[in-house]
A = this chain, B = another copy of it.
Amino acid sequence: MDRITLAHGNGGRLMHELIDRLCLEFSNSILDEMADAAELKLGKNRIAFTTDSYVVKPLFFPGGDIGRLAVFGTVNDISMRGARPLYISLAFIIEEGLELSILDRITRSIAEASRRARVRVVTGDIKVVEKGSADKIFINTSGIGVIEDLRRKIGAKAKEGDLILINGSIAEHGMAVLNAREKLGFASGIKSDCRNLNFETGRCVAISDTISIMRDPTRGGLAGTLNEIARSSNLGIEIYEKDIPIKPGVKKICDILGFDPLYVANEGKFLCFVSKKDAAKVKKAIGKNARVIGETVTAHKKEVHLKTEIGSSRILLPLESDQLPRIC
């Protein structure tokens, strides 16, 4: 391994090895938590701070576009720390020759998304590179949120005996982008689930003080994210196949193309690990699409096991290399 491959950016084993390698240089207690957002002390405040670059291809897809993704992706990473997102930065790297009309469309989408999520774009940057030195446009957003309940810490580790909730059906973002990119022409009506989660997570945090971790299963999908949590929490995770929501059309396309939906990216879903006693009220706070899909166990530590519909059990391995690059 002496060169970067696409698999280094896709949420799988190689990416984690690369992150570990880079983190050696920067190791500090905040970074080492390896959460979606860093939790920082600033005077008497605690804030969440996060960054993400967006390189999705194509720029526009059913259910979203790179601008909407760039706002909601960062808003969601902040929300997963139990923080209320307030401010975002916006940095464009643009390839020479991009049509201004495309830039305008993306900008309008960013503005609309920030209004929807109630965050403000407060600082920005534009760089232009020569034709052929980028792919149309890349967007970075960083974001700041405030953690209002100073007693709690959300997002580092799951706890033994937690139930695992999800707020809706999986694998829509990845399949919508793939369908648009490869012009597969499935008249599927599959739309990306790209949306902001801050109001939902806000309700959860307000109603329960036993949420141990929330995480949005983007790159690497549900199985990738659960593996990360099982490892970092040193717990086993059990998931029930029959309870995982997936729309029939999405399942069908996954089957045809040989994609495992458990590993396909989502952009509007989150997992909420919460105590058994609070699970029902948190489920209600999330809304009608919320489902309990599994639990943490002390057996098979660091492994995610799937109870299949026919009653057998299989290990969901960490992703070796993603099924699809440039998904976000």
Contacts and interface: CB of A to CB of B under 8 A. Distances in A.
Interface of A: 1-10, 15, 18-19, 21-22, 25-26, 28, 30-31, 37-38, 40, 42-45, 47, 49-55, 86-87, 89-101, 103-104, 107-108, 110-111, 114, 120-130, 132-135, 138, 140, 142, 144, 146, 325-326
Contacts of A86: 40, 42
Given A87-B38, A111-B25, A126 B49 contact: no
Contacts of A122: 28, 30-31, 38, 40, 49
Contacts of A140: 51, 53, 91, 140, 142
A96 B239 CA distance: 35
A44 B89 CA distance: 21
A245 to B, nearest CB: 28
B107 A25 contact: yes
Given A93-B55, A120-B31, A100 B45 contact: no
Contacts of A128: 4-10, 325
B125 A53 contact: yes
Contact of A126 (B3, B15, B31): B15
In the complex, which of the residues A18, A45, A53, A92 has the most CB atoms of chain B within 10 Å of its own CB atom?
Answer: A53
A89 B49 contact: yes
Nearest to A111: B25
A87 B129 contact: no
A228 to B, nearest CB: 15
A110 B49 contact: no
Contact of A146 (B43, B94, B133): B43
Contacts of A40: 86-87, 122, 144
